[in-house]
Structure 1
Amino acid sequence: MAGCCEDYFKGGETVIGGSAALRVDLLDEDAFAALHCDWADLLAKSNADPLFMSWPWLYSWWETWGESLGLELMLLGVYQADDQLVGIAPMYRHRIPLSVGMTVTRVHFLGNAWRVSPTVRTEYVGLVAKSELESDVALAVAAYLKTLTWDELVIPDSQEEAGGALGRALAEACRATPVVRSESMGVCIDTALPIEPWLASLGPNTRRKAFNRRCLFEKKLGGSLQYLENKGVSQTAFLDQLNRFHVKRWEKPCFDDKACQFHLKLLSRLSDKQHALMSRLVVNGQVVSVLYDIQAGARVYNLQSGYDENLNPKLSLGTLHLGYAIEQAFQDPGINQYDLLAGSGKNTFYKARFNGRQVSFPTVDLVRSPVLRTAYRFRSWLPGGLVSRINRVFRL
């Protein structure tokens, strides 16, 4: 698998002064594989997302797509003088030859291959840093990146519009211009409070579909909710069932072969603070809906769902299944959020109907190359046809 290029990366470490003396080391793939315990300890002391920025998620992503996409690992570990790990910048780089004879070098965060290839989606992207040293870690990483040659640094589905602390530090240290390339919306439901006020806040149609139709589903159809307990073969069968529902509805699977490989690796590596919540609705022994969630810390993430659209005209099985899962989150004192994540439905942004907190997921591009900065600046003044041509030429 592609690793670190001698002609690109300058040295293995650097020492940064400031409020905290920090050392930045460039870690290889063997170090990445062995980092799971230290990574988990650091993640627990950080403000980083406990699922998407975890070692099981990002290492499984790299193992699945790193080599096949020709990516070069750029995993930065940030250490104090006593060799204590206080920060991680999980990144890679990708060089793109353009038709105009130049090459664009993009640095990306692990978990997404924006404008490279479709993979699974990683959200809440950012640094993993000890919370009280977050700013110092960002400055240390920015100072290290300043010594390297790159044109753009992409932070997809970031936690903040400017790319967070690292984005702000890079904008100053490297004179990189932040450009918001896209923005998605998600919804996160606060389940730490009693469920009754939240239920009352729902529209009558949503409340009926998510909760009141249980009487029809359970009593008239004999339906039931089941959680998957077995691992291995059962998880593979679950993902296969999920794909079958998606093929029927969308004419394509939600997870291709590589994505299935990723999820099976992830499920086998979940830490003691993470566990899968794979549930299904069953009628007369027939699976009619599946819901793939993962709990990490005090949050449940709704990753995917699939269901039979034609079981009964009075039932919206996808909404009904979500109602069961959200109610379970309200009832569990160890869960304080049920996260519907980014993305819309087939026809509408159905997640907004669940009346949770709306979350913005901007993809921030920090542009360092003067040529690309000029291309971005002129795009806003040009007609659509020329903008499309510039986008194609520069792979913007």
Structure 2
Amino acid sequence: MQFEFSEEEQMIRETASQFAENQLKPNAQKLDEGDHELYLAQIKELAELGFMGMTVKEQYGGIGGSTVAFSLAVTEIARGCASTATATSVTNMVAEVIQAVGSEEQKNHYLPKFCNGEFLAGAFCLTEPSAGSDPSAMRTTAVADGDNFVLNGSKIYITSAKFAGVFVVWAVTDPSAPRGKGISCFLIDADTPGMTIAKPEDKMGQRASSTCEVSFNDCVIPKSALMGELNKGFKIAIGELAGGRIGIGSLALGIGLEAMDYASDYIKERKQFGQELSKFQGLQFMVSDRYTELEAARLLLMQAAYNKDQGLPFGTSASMAKLFASEKANDACYTALQCLGGAGYIKEYPVERFVRDVRLTAIYEGTSEIQRVIIARDKLLS
């Protein structure tokens, strides 16, 4: 097995690392406290650097990077700011689904806008109030009307909705079909009449990331907005969620590594009972376990990304990677907080933010419980 990264993958990783170190880390607290203008400015810089369309082919303005490069970049960006990494991961997922199933006209129209910074982000509209872990239960409808479709319904927890340039939206187009069989996928521009974006949710963590409800009230879109085949959009969503799990697992890994690095530096300086905390075996064992688990998470992510790049089945490996990385990153952040003691609970130190930010990684893009269902289905029921 090849464990070395290509020159391009190393360059992408180093660029992301430098951006995180120089731009994101110094401002992460400001973003968490609500500096929306700064957040958008940094998102725009990332877009102009090509990080919002990392796997987009060169013919559409992208760099044609690998999934491995995407995973490496998201991990580094997350070390600087989890909210920014979330926007990066989801936008790349949107660009990828357009590249995979969009028409040539759709690809030529939308993909360059992700790569040149015209679009700060893309939005992935799947979850509904009554359709979360079971998206086949969605109720948003798209009814054919001449040369158009008319959408009605709502989506919730939509990342980057406030500033996305285009929305990938799933809706029921054949209500008589079995669940999951009559769903289609559409591309809807941000300024489309009849689409309303609510105020951002007041979240526990990843507070800079705009998470909103998106509603459709007699929203008229042309039939050319259909992406892929009519009534066959649910398969698109399931496939893209598998790829998105590599992104969220990579994001979790970045937060966990940053938390452990910060805690390690802290206990090397902090003294109790006449010596540095790092010399106490109890803390040494805690730190050793967390770094070992995060390294295992990294290898699982690399395996899933490699499988995807090689055109091999990767759904189960992506679920394994996302499950393990998100759970162990949560453990790492709580260990880091424990290493800091009372200081870890104070906003002056970034660890309390890491704890709040990492919690979501075990929930979105499929909860840890859903990942276990997917893995069990493959290992026990297939």
TM range (shorter): under 0.3
Between structures 1 and 2, the one with greater strand share:
1
Greater helix fraction, Structure 1 or Structure 2: 2
